[in-house]
Amino acid sequence: MSRRCELTGAGPFTGNNVSHSNVKIRKRWLPNLKKKKYFITELSREMTLTLTARAIRTVDKQGGITKALLKAKAEKLSARLQKIQRQIQKSRTAS
């Protein structure tokens, strides 16, 4: 499993832990990933997504996963969500 948010593309950060004696040790900071189920009404389908806690709050603020997907930039989305985004756009133009 890739440690990457499917909506925002956020992944691990790297850097140094610096001690009092100025010894540097490499470190990774992992994103706060959670699995969350969403129901997409346009497609009548439920999906489980791996999102960061921040992305989950953003989805709630924007009013649901459909609106969040339509606002998101395609290059930041995972391949799976890019496909879902195109399907939602297609269903919106057909209606």
Instruction: Give the tens place of pLDDT for each residue, 38-83.
Output: 999 999 999 999 999 999 999 999 999 999 999 999 999 999 999 9
- The pLDDT, as a whole number, for residue 29 is 96
Phi, psi dihedral angles at 88 (to 5 degrees) = -65, -45
Phi, psi dihedral angles at 11 (to 5 degrees) = -135, -170
Residue 95 has pLDDT above 80, yes or no: no
Strand partners, 60: none
- Contact between 74 and 9 under an 8 Å Cβ cutoff? The reply is no
Q: Is the pTM of this model over 0.85?
A: yes
